[in-house]
Structures are given as structure tokens and as C-alpha cells.
Structure 1
Amino acid sequence: MKEPRSIVHSFGTRYPQQHDDISYGISSDWVPGEFLLDFESHFLAPSPGKTNGEVLFGFVDDVSFSLERGFKEEPFELILSNSTQGAIIRYTTDGTAPTAEHGEIYESSMNVDATTVIRAAAFKDGYAPSSVMTHTYLFLDDVVRQSPDGEPPIGFPFDWNNNLVDYGMDPRVVDQPAYSKEVLTGFRDLPVISIVMDIHDMFGKEKGIYSHARKDGRKWERPCSVEYFHSGPQPGFEIDCGIRIRGGFSRMDNNPKHSFRLFFRDIYGPSKLEFPLFEGSSVTTFDNLDIRTSQNYSWSFGRDGENGLFVRDLVNRDIQRSMGHLSPNGDFCHLFINGVYWGLYNTCERPEASFASDYLKGGKEDFDVIKIQNGGGERTFATDGNTDAWSRLWKAAKKGVKSNEDYFQLQGKHGDGSEDLDSEVLLDVENLIDYMLIIIWSGNKDAPVSAFSGDWASNNWYGMRNRNHREGFQFIIWDSEHTMLKEDLEINRIGPFPAGNEFSSSNPQYIWQRCLENEEFRMKVADRIHRHFFNQGLLEPDQLKALFDHRVDQIKNAVVCESARWGDSQAPNIAGKSTPGRFPLTRDDHWLKVVNYTRNKYLSQRSDIVMAQLLAKGLYPDVNAPVPSFTGEGGAAQLALSAGKGIIIFTTDGSDPRMIGGDRNASATTYQNPIPNSGEFQMLKARTSYEGKWSALLEIEF
């Protein structure tokens, strides 16, 4: 620019591909009168407000590896190559990124005969360096022998500040005949996530995120490489990203096994991870990703052999997703840090604005995402957007929703249930009810109300809503470790609880409790109970066991790997050091007992116990809902309905036989004879009516 604000030169839209941290402009060699386009160049260092600096002659190509990352069984010769004439390849094996001055100069092929992490880049004077390429090679015979004496692996520190330290694979597990082969199978059963980084960024006394696990925020985010691969031919990826410690109570110093969160930002590499990480999911791009591990009731933190199960959180989220609601995907994996096995983990989407945008209509900026923050003082806050709409919902619920006018207004409707386009939609009622049924069934003691606070505080919940659409807040099952416990077979988490009386502890259970004042809401609760607890619903034992068995089968061999790595992890004594000599917790002696109890007792009995609790609270009618049965086959099939006392009233047009307020739907039919197959799918909705009272709704498509 020059005065008076006239343009001297502009590129318009005709310029080459740009690169991070590399500027582009006119070379300082240009003089007036010369053709400008001949002097357009890239520069090694950006220089805003100053004369453009050293011109780049080009960009060094990335280093090629002769063998892909992954599991290896035999030693091999690794060849590194680069197609840029005159470039020098430097590599490291300690997790640090090579630079023009750091790393071994590659001269000839390398023999790789043990678990090895190699990072390589190429450099040439006057050229921008290549990207750093990272490859992890795992030899399982080597992995199962890592630090058998508990001493730090080469390059790893003896201590992590005040954090309890645990290293190594336990020979008492890997050498036991029952496990010596299964530990190898267990490693191959699950995908691997390999984190590779400067060991000081992870464990260093001054800036290590693991050795300062209680620290949070961007200041405690470090660069790393993340690789994802399987033992078979399935595709994988490698990406440079940021990494932090994640979690709340699990950040304690006496926990030697922490969870992580990955952030994909253009300061590290691609701004998004683009990969089909979760089978069956339509979402293949991610802004961030959690790498979670069981904390409460784990072997590494508290040495819990009575309740260590590892699948509770995933099973709870699987239930919500199977009900048709939004729930973060997750899958098990093995985690390695600079080639050292770190245990059984699971990948998990994080339910924030990018997640909402991926699955619901709208951009990230359209969503309010609400959660509870505790640890530094309980506080309901917005991770994205603001709390304005949530505050309006909470205030309306606190005021009371006994009348239909107040209750339906939460849903953007008139008091008769018809849509009111002048009223905002604040609540997704079916989502709230199903969310609470999962909370109640699972005996969740730490979400959304925490029993550990005497039920005065909330914890572990997310709610999200698009401000620009007529959609109410939806709630996400999250961090469900305090569930399905042996001592809690008969626990009652229906409430009411005091948490939520103040906005700082507001939560979905408080909204549920206030809505229970309304007859129409209670009827809807009864309908959702009937859907999920009867007629092969998702909260019937057989359906629950299928979801549970799926997750158990995924890790039944991988648990042996976890046993070898963390089964002998000890709680610290007063001096903060581990107590040596305890036996390791194992799959067959400990984990399988918890699996069998959960499957054969909790999953078998809990639904009946919860139904009795719901009945006692008046949340399910004492009028029996119609019971369906089919006679005949194919076109001759007929649907028969039966009930105890009362008459059965049904519709096939999708409407409810019961009108809002309790009257009979004028278009409904009184059931007398089996209903023939019409040849087309139709939705039958039926209720039993007895002495002015209605049963829960039966919905069946046939």
C-alpha cells in the first residue's frame, strides 16, 4: 500500500500452494521497472513490517520408509530415502523431532530387531525442511519383556515428580502358562495408538504433562506424533498434534496411569484428523479425541480387583446410542508411549461443539454446550456458546411446570400440545427421559448428581442445543464408571435430590424432577419405560447382555496385557513410594469374576429391581399395557392384543389413543379381534383404559 491508499501490488487469487510458517511475497532483489512476477518467492522466515528475507529455493520432499509401521516378527533392514537431490536425512530413536542440527545423519540401512520408534526428516540449505515422519515398529516378544524388574526403560525417568511411578510387564503374568500365548493374542486383538514425543515434554520435572498431571489448559499442551494401526491389513494413520492430560479426580499424584486428550491444530500439522475411526459412524473428521482409561475401579488406580471391569463407560454410552440418541463413539485400543506399552485404553469422541456440528445440523458456532465444572468450585458453564438458554430452561423448571401451559412451553408448544412458533424449544423430552432411565438403571452415583457429595452437587453431564433450530437440549451419557457395581444392585437413583436448586449445580436430573410434577410428562415417562423395559426393549436383560458381551469379547484377551502392565500397580504408602511384593491382579482370578457377576446377577436382576422402584414412585401405571402376540405367517399373520382389566384402544395412523388431558382419541378403535396384516408396514399404538386411567403406550410396527 502507499498513500493515498492506492494498491502497489496484489496477488489476487493467483498464487501457489502456501505452507505453514513459510511466507510468500516479492523478493528484496526486485527493483522498480523489473517484472514483478519474476520476483515472487517463498521465504524461510516471515518478516512482517520488514524487508523480506532469505529466499527459499524450494521444499524438501518427505522421507520415505521402506517398511510400514506396525507389528513385526522378524528383524529387517530399514531403508530411508528422499527424492530431493542433495538433501540430508536425519533421524532419532528417542522420540524427539530431528532438526538440521539434531539427530543422527542417515548414511545406510539400519537393522531393526527390537521395538523401535524412528522419526526422520530431510534438510537442505536454502530449502524448507521436510515434514517429520514417524514410524513405530513393535516386536511383541520384546514388548512382553519390557522392564521386567520395574526399572525405567532407556530414556525414561526414575520419577515423575510426585506422581506414583510404575513401569514394566510383570513376568508373573507373561510367563504364566495360562497367559503366555494369550498376552500375544491380546496385543493383536485391538488397534494400537502410539504416542511419540520428547520424553521431557511428557515426564520432565519442569514441563512434563504427566509429571504435572493436575495442570490443564493450552499452557500444558505439548506436540507429539500419533500413529494408529492394526495387526492386520486395516488402514491406519499418522498425524502430528497436541496432547494434554485429561480427567478430574484421576489427575491425582497417586494415580500412575493417566488419560489423554489430542488436539488437531494447524500449528502441529493438519487442523483435523480425517479418518474413519469408528465403525458405523458417518463422521470421519475430528477436531479432538480423548484417549480414556478406566480410573475408578481400575487395577492401576486403587488396585480394585473386586470391581475392575473396564467396560462400564462404553456400555452405558452404547445403550444411549442404541436407543437412537446422540452418544460419543468409542473403541478399545492399546497405548504405547515412545515404544513402551502403557496399557488398555479407549478412544472417545468429546461431546462439544464440533461433535454437535458433526451429528446435528448446524455449524460449531450455532451450539450451546453446557457441562459442570468442579474441582475449583462447582460451576455450570458453557464449553461452547453461552448459558442463556440453559438458564431460561432451569428458571422455568424451578418456577414449576405442573400446568400444561408451562410444561409444553418448554417444548415450544401451546398448552394443548400444538406447536407454538412464537415460543422457543428448550427441552427434548424423550431424550431427557431416556437419559434418566439409563442413569437410574445403571445406578449411576456420579452423574448427573453425585452421591459422593450427599447428592448436593452435580457432575459428569453434558447438554447441547442448536440456538438457531427448533430443538431442545439433549443430554449425553458421560464418564459412567460409577455404575453397575456389585454393592449397588438395589441402589435407587430416582431422586429427588437437592442438587440443582442453585444454578451453579443445575443439571438434567433437576429438570426431570421438576417436570415430574406434570401429568403429561409422567405419562411420557411411563411410555418410555414400557418401550425400554418390555417387549425386548433395550433395558431388558437379554438386550443388555448382548451389548455387554460385545464389549467384554473385545477385550477378553487384551485384559491379559493390562494385567501384565498394571496388575501389580500399588497404592503408595506414606512416603509416596510403591509397596513391593503384592501379587498381580489377573484376568481369570479377578476380571472374569467381575464379568460373571455383572452378567449373571446385575444384568439379570437389575431391570426388575428398577421397575419396582419406578412403580413405587408412581412413575409407571398399575393398569397393564396391552401385550402383543402374532398368529399365522406372512400375509396371513395377525396381531393379537391382550390385557388384564379394562379395554384396549388402538390407532394405526401414528396418533396416540390417549389425548392430552386424558380423553380418548376420536379416531382410535376399540380392540375386539386380532388385527390382520394389511400388506404394508403400519405403526400400531395401543393403550389399556380402565376406570378412567390409562396404561403406558404399546408401540409396534408390523
Structure 2
Amino acid sequence: MESANGLQLSTIRIRGGYSSTSRNPKHSYRLFFRSEYGDAKLKYPLFGNEGVDEFDKIDLRTSQNHSWAFENSRRNTFLRDIFCRDLQGKSGHHFTKSRYYHIYMNGMYWGIFMTQERAEGRFGASYFGGKPEDYDVIKAMGWMKPTEVTDGTLDLYRELFERTLDWSGDNKDYFALLGLKPDGSRDPYGKTLVDADNLIDYMLGIFYTGSNDEAAAWGGRSTNNFFCMIDHDNPAGFKFFRHDAEHSMDAGWEDRTAPANDKKFRELPWFNGQTLHERLSKNEEYRMRFADHVYRHFYNGGSMTPGNSIELMSTRVNELQAAIPAEAARWGNTTSQSPEMWQRNVDYLLRRWLPTRRDKVAQQLRNRGLYPDLAPPVMRSNGAVIAQRKWGAAPGTMITLENSDNERGTIFYTTDGTDPRAIGGDISGDAIDGGDKETVVVSGTVMKARVKDGSNWSPLREILYIQNIGKSSLKISEIHYHTYGNDSGPDTFDAGEYEFLEIRNCSNKTIHLTGAAFTKGIHYAFPDNATIGPGRHIVLSANPKAFRERYGFQPFGKYFRGLDNSGETVVLRDALGNVVDAVTYDDKDPWPETVDGTGKSLTRKNLDGNADSNDPGNWNASREQDGTPGGEYVSEVDTSGDDETASANAAAGRVKN
């Protein structure tokens, strides 16, 4: 494996279950980077700006089921599994990323492979923070084999299994699994075992792609092909990951929504994401949340709309197109295993399967009671339907809500970010009765609307307002790029894990951060609904667990890629792609040199809108050791609900113990 600094050696072993048989001439592999072979880590951005740039292991997978080399299949595409995992990412979650490569072994061409991250403890530490040993990771061992712990213990997984086995489905028990009180507010003493948004989108992806070899596989006959993980010290719910989804789409099942009724799923060794989903489906609030996610991803520019699914698949097709003749020459033939057959499979997926899939699955979910017949309101501006969830609208723009897709029902909406439906199904006290049609002036950061007919509610229709953030409004206010580590105590972290960056709202108005992102230096995309209040700060960190240990509060989020100790350019852009602020700092004069490795930070002196961010004269070394993240701009923040809601509520930036 070659890194940026030249050849980097690793040890290699065969990966896979069924495909690892000696009858298979083209195996998948796992590469391990260990100090006895050279560098202990591969340091290279294998996935560009999508992911991290340090690895201690990486998989090299290739087509196995429906492959030319092993199964002499006419269905080979190299696309189904990677599309399923890409789709999890497009749905707003961490996923195991891949890139295609030609591989040569001992000088001989061995065909097309793809790198793939492995959802184990190292992955958890890289993307969620902490250390690899902080994570419990559970995986399926293979067909008709029980699950296995690959990192940590089974304790929290067993607790989740026991608490949902034969449970009543009442709100108290459901919200407790989410770390909430019965009224849905955050429980400071609660234990979060379920990340409902991750679980719902994981299962929705399986249903949408018809993947019949994941979770409760092959009609619920066995657990197979899944990974899940949780930080056992700071549990934020188990995260489930799509894995090995070759038996999907046109090679999967037309209707994947049937429950897994085999009695083995009442036993811990066979417990998986699908059985958890089916247990939680007893609860009305979970089912409503599931329906909301169906609507979010199936319509209004969501990840599973026909157009966006075709675009996602086409991106991978374009990467493969020129490489397929080489694979066919090495492992195929001139008829059923040829570039022409590959193209016919691709055309079927792009022209027939994906264009019709959404509507089929929506009806399947209706048949299972997981998606209502009652449609949400239609939203229009100047007579045209608003076909996006994230919409650029200036304050004062008029939006018309219409109950035009239903014969009955009443519109209820809010403009303060709350749900018009209260827990339990009543109308929220903040909801406004919109009748059958209502015109509303754009205000705040989001509009949320539903239709209510008797005791039935439609899925949630929401519009998140995105905006051009003026350069004078939001500034990078503190950069802690080179500090010191911790070599003592129960938790030891390298120096880079304590680094952070702070931004400040310099205006007198709340700023919407939906769609805003750091795109150079560090990489971080702000979550939907995120805002920052007037005069407030938001702090992002390299490792939230290390940050909390040293600075005493929870940062707003975790960024990827460390701040360069020698200096670099950091760029913040708004949802429209405009540069909001950019700083090119250095560790040499005229920039303050006393911050380089001493524990002090770069702190902005002048936050005036016309001040040059790249002028060293506008920056000082902090007076305090460890800098001043959050400064005096501190407020208690409600972090109730899921991660997305918590991020949105943390408008002040700093979340105290």
C-alpha cells in the first residue's frame, strides 16, 4: 500500500465468510498496518474530504456473490453493496466508505477491488470521538451463526435486548431507551441505548434496496451482515451500519418489509437491528418518527427520491465504466460476463429499477402500517410547489400551505421549530390551525406542518430555511492548533485530540447554520436546524471526549482532520457555497509564536466586520492556559431529544456538565 511518503508495508489476510472458500480464485482481503512491518498507521486521505486520513486497517473487497470470478454470474455490477452504503451516508449518517482500485499481485493484474472502512472500535473513535477501547462493537458472524463481540463487551447490547423483549411499547419505556423522560425532555440520569434516527434510516435503507442478506436475513431465517457500536462510557445509542449488501436491489427481494417471526430472534445471539425495529414499532411515537423519515427521504429532494438515487448510482457507474473491460478480460468471457452484460445490468438499475422503487416501497410500508395514507400539506411559493426540504428564502417571503392531497383533515403548523403534534397525538400548544389553506410569512429558521384527521396525523412536512451568511456576521474567533497531550490518569490522549476551533456570531440576529460547513483545513458540516444566537460561540473539537475531559463541557461537534501544527488555511462556507470566513494562520512571526505547543490558543482581538481575518495583528496568544473555548458567552442549553435536535438546541455553543 502506497502512502503520500512512499511505500508503506502491511500484513494481509483473506476477508469474508462464504467467499473465503478455496473454490474462489479472487478473494477479498484485509490489510493491517503494524509497527513491525513499518509505520503503525496508514496516513493518507483514502476517501478525500469524506473521511479520516489515518487507518490501522482497511478492507479490500471485491464482488463475490454475483461475481464473474467466483460464481460465473450474469448479474455482476460492482455496484449494489457500495450503493447501499453510500445511501446510508446520503441519508445523514456515518457509513463505511469505499473507492475503486485496480489491483496487481506479484505483477499480475488481479482485477477491480474497492477499499472499505471497517465499522469497529477504531472507526468509532475516528468519527465519534474517544478511543477504540471505549466502544462495544457487535457483528454478525455469518449465515446461521450467532452474533459476536469484536470490541468491548456485550453488556449494553444485552441490556437493550432484555429491556425490549416482551415490552409493552408504552412511552415511558420507549423514551427511557432514548435517554429521555416520559414527556420527551432530556433525562440527565438516563442511559441512551437507542439512536432512533440511525436505526430508522438503517432499516429504511434495507427496505428500500430490498437487501435480503442483512440483519434478519433471507426472510428472517438468520442474523447476517451487520455491525453496530456504542460508546459504553457515554452511550448515545447503538449505531447500525450497512454491510455486505450484494443481495440487494434487482438481486434482492421485491418486498423486504415482512417481520422476522422465527423464534430464534427471541434469543440474544440472534438479536439485530431489524428485530429491535420491530419491537420498537409497538410504540406510536416510534411509528410516527419512522413515517416522518420515510417522507423526508422519499420526497422533496430526499436521499431516496428517484432523481437522487439515480444520481448517486450514476456517480459510481461513471467511476467504473472505463475499468470494466479490464475486469472482464481477466475474469469474464465474451458473452454472459462481458462489458456489454455489465452495461445491460446498469441500464436496468438506472432506467427501470430505481425510477419505480420509491413508490413501491411506500405502498409496502403502508401495507405494514408504517406509513399513513394521510398526506402532509403541500407548500407553495408564488404558486409553485416547493420541492425541497432545505430552501433559500428571505425573511418576509410568503408560503402557502394547502391540504390539497387529502379529502379531509386540518393543517397545523409551527414556525418556532417545534412539532405541531404533541407526544401522545394531541395538538401541540404551539401549533397554529391553518384550516384547509393558509398563507404564512417566512420567519425563524424552520416551518413544520402536518395534517390531522381525527386521531390520525400525516408525516411531518418541514422546510429548513437556508441563507447567505454575511462575511461580517460570523467569524472564526479562536484556533487551538498545537497544544500538549495527557500521558497520565485513566484517559491518555495525544496532543492533537485536545485541539479545537471556535466561531462567534458577531451580529445582532440568530444565524441559520443548516448547510454551512468547514471545507478546508478541518472538515465539518453543521447539522440541519443548527443555529447560533447573537453574540454566541460554537466550539468544534478534534475529539469530544478529550475536549470534555480538559475543558469541562461538551463541544458542539467533532471535526475531521487535525489542525496543522505548522499553519494552514481554514475555510467556512455557507449553504450556498459562499466563503463566510477564512483564516490562513502560521506558527512563525508575525503570528504569535507563543501558542505553538505551549497550551495557549490563537484568540481573535478584533471581530469587527471589516477586520482582515488573515492579518496577524488581529490575533493574540490567549492569556489563559488551554485557551478560552466558549469564553464568557455561556448559557445552559436544552439538549433533549436526538443528536440532530440536541445540535439545533445548542445555539449558544457551550453545553455544560
Shorter-chain TM range is 0.5 to 0.7
CA–CA distance in 1 between the matches of 2:61 and 2:456? 48
Check conservation: 2:413, 2:449, Cα contact below 8 A: yes
**Residue 181 of structure 1 corresponds to which residue in structure 2?**
none
For 2:19, which of 240, 247, 250 is the aligned residue? 250
Shift of 1:534: 1.4
Over 3 Å counting, the alpha-carbon distance change for 1:236 and 1:342 in structure 2 is farther
Check conservation: 2:142, 2:225, Cα contact below 8 A: no
1:429 has 2:170 as partner:
no
1:292 has 2:61 as partner:
yes
- Segments of 5+ residues of structure 2 without an aligned counterpart are 384-392, 466-657
**Residue 448 of structure 2 corresponds to which residue in structure 1?**
685
Q: SS of the residue aligned with 1:333? A: strand
Check conservation: 1:444, 1:493, Cα contact below 8 A: no
For 2:337, which of 585, 604, 628 is the aligned residue? 585
- Segments of 5+ residues of structure 1 without an aligned counterpart are 1-225, 229-234, 569-581
Shift of 1:697: 0.7
1:344 has 2:112 as partner:
yes
Shift of 1:426: 0.4
**Residue 326 of structure 1 corresponds to which residue in structure 2?**
94
1:597 has 2:361 as partner:
no
**Residue 74 of structure 1 corresponds to which residue in structure 2?**
none
Q: Please report the RMSD computed on the Cα atoms of aligned residues, expressed in angstroms.
A: 1.8
**Which runs of structure 2 are paired with 1:497-646 in the superposition (5 Å)?**
497-498=261-262, 500-568=265-333, 585-588=337-340, 590-631=341-382, 637-643=397-403, 644=406, 645-646=408-409
Over 3 Å counting, the alpha-carbon distance change for 1:487 and 1:445 in structure 2 is closer
Cα deviation 1:51-110 (Å, max 9, x = unaligned): xxxxxxxxxxxxxxxxxxxxxxxxxxxxxxxxxxxxxxxxxxxxxxxxxxxxxxxxxxxx
Q: SS of the residue aligned with 1:485? A: helix
Q: SS of the residue aligned with 2:204? A: helix
For 2:411, which of 630, 648, 651 is the aligned residue? 648
**Residue 68 of structure 1 corresponds to which residue in structure 2?**
none
Q: SS of the residue aligned with 1:370? A: strand
Shift of 1:408: 1.1
Over 3 Å counting, the alpha-carbon distance change for 1:455 and 1:404 in structure 2 is same
**Residue 255 of structure 2 corresponds to which residue in structure 1?**
491
Shift of 1:600: 1.2
Cα deviation 1:381-428 (Å, max 9, x = unaligned): 211011100010011111314111111111112222122222211010
Shift of 1:635: 5.9
Shift of 1:227: 3.1
For 2:2, which of 222, 227, 231 is the aligned residue? 227
Shift of 1:379: 2.0
**Amino acid paired to 1:639:** I
**Which runs of structure 2 are paired with 1:433-472 in the superposition (5 Å)?**
433-451=200-218, 455-472=220-237
Cα deviation 1:148-184 (Å, max 9, x = unaligned): xxxxxxxxxxxxxxxxxxxxxxxxxxxxxxxxxxxxx
CA–CA distance in 2 between the matches of 1:542 and 1:428? 28
CA–CA distance in 1 between the matches of 2:398 and 2:38? 61
- Residues paired across the two proteins, number: 450
CA–CA distance in 2 between the matches of 1:461 and 1:612? 26
CA–CA distance in 1 between the matches of 2:152 and 2:289? 30
**Residue 364 of structure 1 corresponds to which residue in structure 2?**
132
Q: SS of the residue aligned with 2:310? A: helix
Identical positions, percent: 38
Larger radius of gyration: 1
**Which runs of structure 2 are paired with 1:162-201 in the superposition (5 Å)?**
none
Shift of 1:583: 5.1
CA–CA distance in 1 between the matches of 2:290 and 2:329? 46
**Residue 169 of structure 2 corresponds to which residue in structure 1?**
402
Over 3 Å counting, the alpha-carbon distance change for 1:348 and 1:271 in structure 2 is same
Check conservation: 1:401, 1:407, Cα contact below 8 A: no
**Residue 183 of structure 2 corresponds to which residue in structure 1?**
416
CA–CA distance in 1 between the matches of 2:427 and 2:255? 38
CA–CA distance in 1 between the matches of 2:27 and 2:410? 58
Check conservation: 2:402, 2:438, Cα contact below 8 A: no
**Residue 194 of structure 1 corresponds to which residue in structure 2?**
none
CA–CA distance in 2 between the matches of 1:350 and 1:487? 23
TM-score scaled by structure 2? 0.66
**Amino acid paired to 2:349:** T
**Residue 670 of structure 1 corresponds to which residue in structure 2?**
433
CA–CA distance in 2 between the matches of 1:604 and 1:391? 41
**Residue 149 of structure 1 corresponds to which residue in structure 2?**
none
**Residue 137 of structure 1 corresponds to which residue in structure 2?**
none
